[in-house]
Amino acid sequence: MHPLRGALAAQSARISDVAPCTMQSSHLVSGMLGLGMHSVATTVILDPRQALLAFNHLLRVEARLATCARHAAAATGALAAVATACFISHRRRIAQLIERIRLLGGDPDPDASLELAAATPLPLAERQGLAFYQAVADDRQRLDPQATTFVIDVLLPQQVRTARIALAAKG
């Protein structure tokens, strides 16, 4: 089981009054990397608390990725420019997630602002970030249609572009 799915499942198990739902599933990252976008069909609107849980988790992921990119930007040469572009991209998604969390009536997770060690090489960190977004996109039954659309149409494509930049710089 993917770590994000486990975390979301553990948190959502505490919310007992959320109605179950079914949604069409597809593998979006592979589609966005060259096979075209897949459509999203939703059938039931879920409690927005699920979206708040997922968005706060993604906010923590983005904070870790931004920290890793900031540390990599201290390097010299072409990697510094790539890492700076990645850092800017992650800061943009952090702002978007905070805005969406507040729109839903929630508070951004204060743990997302913690400084974390950046021991993970940037290309690997970006690949891991992509996997987190993919897990949310694949597990759409936990999110309402509006939250799903935000992740799939706004955040995931940005992370795909950021990961491509970092992986291309790797060589």
What CATH number does the domain containing 160 carry?
1.20.1260.10
In degrees, rounded to 5, the angle at the alpha carbon of residue 13 between the alpha carbons of residues 12 and 17 is: 80
For residue 36, being part of any structural domain is answered with: no
For residue 11, being part of any structural domain is answered with: no
Query: Average of pLDDT values for 37-48?
Result: 46
CA nearest neighbour of 63 among 103, 8, 11, 117:
117
Count of structural domains within the chain: 1
For residue 8, being part of any structural domain is answered with: no
Give the CA radius of gyration of the chain.
16
For residue 25, being part of any structural domain is answered with: no
b/e per residue 82-94 (b: at least 16 CB within 10 A): bbebbbebbeebb
Query: Average of pLDDT values for 31-52?
Result: 50
In this predicted structure, what is the pLDDT of residue 86?
A: 93
For residue 14, being part of any structural domain is answered with: no
What's the rounded Cα separation, in Å, for the pair 13 and 123?
A: 33
* pTM given for the model: 0.68
Q: How far does CA 132 lie from the centroid of its chain?
A: 6
For the segment 82-121, what is each residue's pLDDT rounded down to a tens digit?
Answer: 999 999 999 999 999 999 999 999 999 887 766 555 567 8
Q: Which domain holds residue 75?
A: 46-170
For residue 38, being part of any structural domain is answered with: no
In this predicted structure, what is the pLDDT of residue 10?
A: 41
For residue 88, being part of any structural domain is answered with: yes
